[in-house]
Amino acid sequence: MTVVTGVTCPVCGSFCDDIELVVKDNVITDVRNACAMGAAKFLNYATHRNLRPLVRKNGELVEASIDEAVKRAAEILVDATYPILYGWSNTSCEAIRVGVELTEEVGGVIDNTSTVCHGPSVLSVQDVGIASCTLGQLRHRADLIFYWASNPWSAHPRHIERYTMFSEGRFQKSTWRGYLSRLRGLVSKKRLQRAANLVLRRDVFAAPEVEHRLPYSMFQKKRKMVVVDVRKTRTAEAADYFLQVEPNKDYELLQAFRMLIRDEELDVDKVAGVPVEILEEVADIMVGCDLGVLFFGLGLTMSEGKLRNVDAALNLTRDLNNRTKFLIMPMRGHFNVTGADVVFTWQTGYPYAIDFSHGYPRYNPGETSVIDILCRNEADASLIIASDPVAHFPRKAAQNLVKNPLIAIDPEVTPTTLMADVVFPSAFVGIETEGTAYRMDHVPLPLKKIVDPPKTCLPDQEILQRILNKVRKLRRNQN
């Protein structure tokens, strides 16, 4: 039995690297320090996995040798006119580098999950720039933390304890105790409300009266958290203040803050459902902080306005830097999606949606992004690695993906592998094979190999390299 320390968790963008694993006979038996998702991964990754390469024959997926699968995959890519190679977010940078080389070789399009996630944030950054930092800067210095359209409690469970409110920094202290007492207060308040409901038959879910002033605690000189969202998430419950914004109205709210930061007056009473008096007070707090940070999530990139919402948030941060120190960071969710963007950028100059069909990298999201390519029905083959588009793409795109030859590289059985024509079982990065990956703030971290993979499960970069070698061979024979 061994204890492996300093393990980097390969689940979300928080990249907690203080995980400890207890390993016995090549099996992980215990996980310490991980959140629910991390623990679920380390303890359950081995169920529901692909163990053998599969090839579709007569409509059915049957077991095949690795060489046969490689040959079939290479043939699919070489025969295709406009293949797409998509995914990349759950694998290592080493594998991603081979992926770019493969896409360049077959003249296809390479895209990663940013395209359905923080792609619009990237587009906005390319227009405005971004005032950001590494997470440690916030742990040490941030006294005002905004989570806007983002719910770390569900998607990045240890974010708050490792980097913001409940973390200890050189200049700022953890607010854990304050939160606990507030939580106790909240729980007893809910209990009383439920009791009152039973006794008085009053509707306990009546919408609370809209407040026109911030609670007193917001004006105290201490570390504060504000959550802006369309519904009161668990993160919002832990916040010092929750700003409920109407759906699809984040843009108006951000622009209103920009005006207030610039000492302009608002002509209306409410913006996005929030009274202007509240906005004015929040703006004062923003300007008066030592160092503020705005974390934003998919609520901004996916709702109406998309990149324009992020535009407004980035510009708000820029404007705030005229008055105080303020930073902004997108909450990247998928394990190594940041790494995929980073590798694509250094090798091709562009972060995602890269088209190699002309022999050099071309970038035009909206044209070269996979959802658009699929909806226009232009791709005639695909290689999907470390992601599950059949489960997560809108139906029309998923349908057009499935109807053409589909190569899937994944350690697990997923809706995508079930619909594929060639399936490669791979080793889990960060558990069965090592690699490098990037945290949401662009800090690179090493991933360890903890246990040995089954012999039939190769690391992603090896599978890709074999396909690449075969593709080159086939093309040489063709010429």
String of b and e for 199-230 (b: at least 16 CB within 10 Å)?
A: eeeeeeeeeeeeeeebeeebeeeebbbbbbbb
67, 53 contact by CB (below 8 A): no
196, 261 contact by CB (below 8 A): no
Which residues ranging from 355 to 394 are in contact with another protein (CB under 8 A)? 356, 358-361, 363, 365-366, 369, 371-372, 375, 388, 390-394
Which residues ranging from 157 to 176 are in contact with another protein (CB under 8 A)? 157, 162-163, 168, 170-171
108, 83 contact by CB (below 8 A): yes
- Tell whether residue 475 is a contact of another protein (CB under 8 A): no
C-beta of 46 vs 266, nearer to another protein = 46
Which residues ranging from 250 to 309 are in contact with another protein (CB under 8 A)? 290-291, 298-299, 301-304, 306-307
- Tell whether residue 189 is a contact of another protein (CB under 8 A): no
The correct pick among 77, 123, 286, 337 for binding another protein (CB under 8 A) is 123
The correct pick among 182, 222, 325, 449 for binding another protein (CB under 8 A) is 325
- Tell whether residue 233 is a contact of another protein (CB under 8 A): yes
Residues that contact another protein, how many (by CB under 8 A): 132
Q: How many angstroms separate the CA atoms of 106 and 433, rounded? A: 27
Which residues ranging from 28 to 47 are in contact with another protein (CB under 8 A)? 36-38, 40-41, 44-45, 47
C-beta of 49 vs 182, nearer to another protein = 49
411, 457 contact by CB (below 8 A): yes
The correct pick among 22, 23, 30, 49 for binding another protein (CB under 8 A) is 49
Provide the residue count of the chain: 479
Helix segments in 174-306, DSSP class H: 176-200, 234-238, 250-261, 276-287, 298-302
Stretch that binds another protein, among 121-129, 178-186, 214-222, 278-286 (CB under 8 A): 121-129
Query: How many CA atoms does the CB half-sphere of 121 hold within 13 Å?
Result: 24
Sign of the alpha-carbon torsion through 344, 350, 353, 355: negative
Q: Which x/- pattern, by CB under 8 A, does the window 414-453 give for another protein?
A: xx--xx----------------x-x---xxxxx-------
String of b and e for 261-273 (b: at least 16 CB within 10 Å)?
A: beeeeeeeebbbe
Minimum Å distance from CB 214 to another protein?
20
Q: Which x/- pattern, by CB under 8 A, does the window 191-220 give for another protein?
A: --------------x-xx------------
In Å, how far are 41, 111, 212, 363 from 122, measured between CA atoms? 29, 13, 36, 13
Q: Which x/- pattern, by CB under 8 A, does the window 94-113 give for another protein?
A: ---x---x--x---------
